[in-house]
Amino acid sequence: MKHTFKSLFIAFCLLLMGTAAAFAAPVEKTVIMDDSFDLSSIHTIAIAMPNYIENEKSPKLDEVIKALAQSGFDSRSVKHLTIIPYSVIAKNIQAETGKDLQTLDKNEAKSLFTAQVKKYADAYLVLTAAKDSRVVMFYDLYSAKDNKYLYSYEVIGGGQGDNNLRSYTTFNDMFYDAFAQSVKDQKKTK
């Protein structure tokens, strides 16, 4: 009887711990990289090409880019911002320079983007996704004027169960909400 009770108790504890881990909230971290920069002066954010590697289990790159822009469009917390999708910036750069970011080498495209983006936006957002045992998303915001690193947001999801577009959209929403809160907090301290 004691052995059965012990076994049931251990099984219950394992079930409880497994359930808690499955429904654990993502961990997030926000850092303002340049305290002297007024985040509220940002009115337009351009979406840059993410640092993202597709695999058979992850969303497609174009879906990730669209979701990042769409989350910004839909967010109530950043309704004062204009979010410019990567495709719009790429078309404008191509019209102006004759160079297609989609066909250039990755480094050339990045260099041309960072040189030209100041014509269209106040800042640009680079998403980096790491998808090893856990999904980790880094949202890095740079000044379009001088490419200074302004703001960083990191969200650590659960395991590979978060490697889907729905979770990525949730993480995007968390970024936009955190950015809006950082702007409010910065205004309070100034």
**Lowest mean per-residue pLDDT among 13-22, 30-39, 70-79:** 13-22
The CATH number given to whatever domain includes residue 101 is 3.40.50
Phi/psi zone of residue 83: left (φ > 0), alpha (ψ -120 to 50 degrees), beta? beta
For the segment 31-51, the average pLDDT, to the nearest whole number, is 92
What radius of gyration, in Å, describes the C-alpha atoms of the chain?
20
| 6 found inside a domain | no
Nearest to 125 by CA among 103, 107, 157, 149: 149
| 13 found inside a domain | no
Q: Residue 170: enclosing H or E segment and its boundaries? A: helix 165-189
The whole-angstrom separation of Cα 52 and Cα 5 is 49
For the segment 120-141, the average pLDDT, to the nearest whole number, is 92
| 126 found inside a domain | yes
The separation between the first and the last C-alpha atoms of the chain, rounded to the nearest angstrom, is 67
User: Residues 169, 140, 40, 29: is their CA dihedral positive or negative?
Assistant: positive
Number of structural domains (the chain) is: 1
| 120 found inside a domain | yes
pTM score, whole prediction: 0.83
| 174 found inside a domain | yes
Q: Quickly state the pLDDT bin for 131 (edges 50, 70, 90).
A: confident
Q: Quickly state the pLDDT bin for 132 (edges 50, 70, 90).
A: confident
The whole-angstrom separation of Cα 22 and Cα 16 is 10
Q: Structural domain of residue 138, as residue ranges? A: 25-189
| 124 found inside a domain | yes
Residue count of the chain, please give it: 190
| 42 found inside a domain | yes
Q: Quickly state the pLDDT bin for 2 (edges 50, 70, 90).
A: low
Q: Which residue has the higher pLDDT, 22 or 170?
A: 170
Q: Quickly state the pLDDT bin for 116 (edges 50, 70, 90).
A: very high
| 36 found inside a domain | yes
What integer pLDDT is reported at residue 17 of this predicted model? 46
